[in-house]
Amino acid sequence: MQSRKIEDENILNQGGSLADISRAIIQQQKPTDQPLNKSLLPSQGLFYHNDISVKKLTTIDIKNLSTVTTDTVDGIMNGILARNVKGVQVNDILVGDKIWLIFYLRSITYDDYPFDIKYQCPECGNMNVFKMQFKDLTVNTLPADFKYEYTLLNGDVVTIGFPTIGNEIESNMILREPEKYSITPIDEELLNIGNYIKAINGKPQSIMQAYRYIETMDGKSFANFANYMADVNFGVKPYINIKCECGNTIVEPLSFSPEFFMPKIK
């Protein structure tokens, strides 16, 4: 009943003649694929060989995104990327590009309709509303001088790769049933770092092999490698910076709220 009502209203708004209505319907059905400039991605697009195009979110996508929970967020986002990003398999999309792409799809769907973030400046006490748009995301990009090979302090040469959604799914499977993979507990953060090691001294490594390698690495080599990876890693930061009129910068967490994906557009 609800959707029929909306359709009726749309048809009324679109004028009257059958030709106008059919033209409007054809326009709605036109493929909405639009090319994506890959160099905008946090990864700079270096790991994707084909051209990538994106589509606006559908009403089902929007409904799903506006009702995510921590348990469903990965599945829902992956499903949306699979449907709306063409030219790359969803499992090959890099985790560092994932959140950026979700925000990008939201931005093309709503013509970058601003999202209101209420804040109070702790310096001057000023209360205000920040109108956040896509450009306001805090994004770390892959450094231009990034090298795929890194020599550890212990002398081993590591071939670095960045985790894909496929790797993320595999890691989550391991963490869900660690007893299938290890008789000792598996540390989530070390496993995550293991995802960045594709080969050691030219020998390809599975995620569990890379994990075991890191687990037994000496402290100095580990600290050095972890710092290097923190420097070159890319993605959307979970916060945004808001400049107050007084000059102070306020850091507000970036959250997926229902209103973000279903803004109150008037």
- Beta strands (DSSP E) in 21-151 are 34-35, 53-54, 85-86, 115-120, 127-132, 139-140, 149-151
Task: Return the range that interacts with Zn ion (CB under 5 A); candidates 92-100, 139-147, 206-214, 241-249.
Answer: 241-249
Longest dimension (CA), the chain: 76
- Choices 37-45, 77-85, 171-179, 239-247; region in contact with Zn ion by CB under 5 A: 239-247
Rounded Cα distance, 172 and 189, in Å? 12
Does 151 participate in binding Zn ion (rule CB under 5 A)? no
121 is a site residue for Zn ion (CB under 5 A): yes
In whole angstroms, give the CA distance from residue 36 to residue 45. 10
> Quick one: which segment of 90-98, 115-123, 140-148, 198-206 binds Zn ion (CB under 5 A)?
115-123
CB of 128 to Zn ion, least distance (A): 9
- Position among 138, 151, 248, 257 found at the interface with Zn ion (CB under 5 A): 248
Interaction between residue 59 and Zn ion (CB under 5 A) = no
Nearer to Zn ion, 214 or 250 (CB): 250
Applying CB under 5 A, does 244 fall inside the site for Zn ion?
yes
Q: Which stretch binds Zn ion (CB under 5 A): 26-34, 45-53, 78-86, 125-133?
A: 125-133
| Residue 33, token pair as written in the block | 């694929």
196, 202, 203, 205: CA torsion to nearest 10 = 10
Q: Is 73 in the site for Zn ion (CB under 5 A)?
A: no
Dihedrals phi, psi of 36, to nearest 5 degrees: -105, 130
- Compute the distance between CA of residue 41 and CA of residue 143 in angstroms, rounded to an integer: 12
Nearer of residues 214 and 244 to Zn ion, judged by Cβ: 244
What string of DSSP letters covers 143-170? -TT--SEEE-TTS-EEEE---BHHHHHH
Q: Is 102 helix (H, G, I), strand (E, B) or coil?
A: helix
Find out whether 75 and 90 touch, Cβ atoms under 8 Å: no
**C-beta of 238: minimal distance to Zn ion in Å?**
22
Binding segment toward Zn ion, per CB under 5 A, in 2-10, 54-62, 106-114, 123-131: 123-131
Total residues at the site for Zn ion (CB under 5 A)?
A: 7
Q: Would strands 235-236 and 85-86 be described as parallel, antiparallel, or unpaired?
A: unpaired
Spatial distance between the Cα atoms of 72 and 79, rounded to a whole number of angstroms = 11
| Residue nearer to Zn ion on the CB measure, 107 or 126 | 126
Smallest gap from Cβ 245 to Zn ion, in A, equals 6
Which residue's structure tokens are 């400046």?
A: 121
- Nearer to Zn ion by Cβ, of 101 and 244: the residue is 244
- Per CB under 5 A, does 130 bind Zn ion? no
124 is a contact residue toward Zn ion (CB under 5 A): yes
Q: 160 is written with which tokens? A: 């670095």
Nearer CB in complex with Zn ion: 207/250: 250
Choice between 44 and 126, CB closer to Zn ion = 126
Residues that bind Zn ion (CB under 5 A): 121, 123-124, 126, 244, 246, 248
